[in-house]
Chains A and B, each alone.
Chain A
């Protein structure tokens, strides 16, 4: 029979615009959060991370915001470029458990319109 799979959220943005990708995390004990980018045919690639004692962290063209009250994470990409087209995953883990597994969100597909 037909299987019900994850419906990957899709975000389409115009080249040059800013992109905002949202993520709800599940475990209130998670205190370390990571964003990964996965391009077609490749494995996930680290973008930026943030610890729970921070609510904002900036990198090159990317900013991650963390709202622990509502367990929400967002990734902002400034001046989106065609090379940013990919699937973006948020991931969480607990630093208290040293080698706890990383839990990935379902992902968001970003499509940049030239």
Chain B
């Protein structure tokens, strides 16, 4: 069974641009959550989606948004990029998002110049 797939693996953007990251969960998993990982803040929860609905959201500004499609694939978008948005963005999936371990992808490394 294929694992969680994130694309692209690396991205370089400039301040003010926007970016879209993609995540394909493990087949049969309907919950997708997103995390931001930085050396300064560690792993921080962004949001979680289940059946195309956002069920939980972390403490990030509105520039960070996401969505989930009917096939459970998810995208996250960051608009008006800032230097501080440089981070590894990790996607994780689970069957229902309830009381289960998470399976992580390898992440998208975003660099904002």
Contact = CB atoms under 8 A, between A and B. Distances in A.
Partners in one complex: yes
B98 A6 contact: no
Which size class do A's interface residues fall under? 20 to 34
Nearest to A41: B106
A104 to B, nearest CB: 4
Contact of A103 (B4, B45, B97, B101): B45
Contact of B104 (A45, A49, A103, A107): A45
B16 interface: no
Given A41-B106, A99-B56, A104 B98 contact: no
A102 B47 CA distance: 11
B105 A99 contact: no
Contacts of A88: none
Contacts of B97: 98-99
B92 to A, nearest CB: 8
Contacts of A89: 43
Interface in B5-31: 31
Interface string B22-57: 000000000101010011111111001010000110
Interface in A1-22: 3-6, 8
Interface of B: 4, 31, 33, 35, 38-45, 48, 50, 55-56, 58, 90, 92, 97-99, 101-107
